[in-house]
Homo-oligomer: A and B are copies of this chain.
Amino acid sequence: MDPKDVEVPPLKDLTIDNITENVHAINSRCEDPRFKYILERIVTHLHDFAREIRLSFSEWEEGIKFLIEVGQISSATRNEYILLSDVLGLSILVDSIDHPKPPASTDGTVLGPFHTHDAELAAHGANITHDADGQPCLILCTVKDMAGNPIEDVKIDIWETDSHGFYDVQRPGRIEPDGRAVLQSAADGSFWFKAIVPVPYTIPDDGPVGKLLKIMKRHAYRPSHMHFMFEKPGYDHLVTSLFLRGDPYETSDAVFGVKESLLTDLGTVNPEQEKTYDVKEGSKLIKYDFVLVTEQETRELREKNAMQAMQNLGLRMKIYHGLPVPDVD
């Protein structure tokens, strides 16, 4: 770029006190108002943070090293940045902002770093795990709308760990998906499958995020849960999990994902269910009725919440492609 084309004030002699406004000035030519707003807030928070803590050079160096490590340990089967976002409470916050839930609908929770896109479409009743050590569990669910009508043909992604607390992708030499499947809801909104009783497990703590947890004297456990993701055009994407009530980590989930409404009591199948669903005697049972919200309702609620939050912050904003940007007109 020709320096003559730079239409910002001369950048020279930048100090603790004037650096922020000058970085904003040179970033102000970005043509996407949302991106510009986001970067403006990133720069402000980053600089305020450094000023407030009087960030030292050696701490900055340590931080740079940490961020590189988090990136470099990440791979196709491990996302350490999602993990970092999870343990800092950002993931659950983003889910709450992006997927606001009316009272009668099913709450969302953190996606976590272990969802994959290669799970096979399974028939109702399929056994989604090959782990012979797991405690057999029958899962009987429905998916309905806010008015109680069944929703057909919802794509439901399900994933859980094996009985030792590892997702398939954490096992070296993984060839095909295990402990995961995709189902489609029937005309009456039902879907059911066989799996194993979820167990508590530690998030991967052999990397930089694990080191961070140790320094903070935090454990790395997640309470027993099974992941569910619901997709159907016209309905808001629902990323959620069911948790087993009474788990020792129920109130100290390392990634802040537990919600009262997502706790389920682990039951035991009765003789009739044994026969109907062809499961072993004594199999455990999880039953849950999920409620989806339409995309439109969610969008309206999200935008209403956003404008309310902006107003509370004293900011004059408008909605641009569904998200707030400064109202500069």
Contacts and interface: CB of A to CB of B under 8 A. Distances in A.
Contacts of A260: 12-13
Contact of A251 (B12, B69, B74, B97): B12
Interface in A1-52: 1, 3, 6, 8, 10-16, 19-20, 22-23, 26-27, 29-32, 35-39, 41-43, 45-52
Interface in A40-68: 41-43, 45-57, 59-60, 64, 67-68
A94 B323 CA distance: 32
Nearest to A202: B1
Interface-centre pick from A31, A249, A252, A260 (highest chain B CB count, 10 A): A252
A53 B37 contact: yes
Contacts of A74: 68, 71-72
Interface-centre pick from A22, A52, A74 (highest chain B CB count, 10 A): A52
B57 A67 contact: no
Interface string A57-94: 10110001001111110100001011001001111111
Q: Which 7 A-B pairs have the closest CB atoms?
A: A71-B71, A10-B251, A1-B219, A23-B89, A29-B217, A45-B45, A3-B248
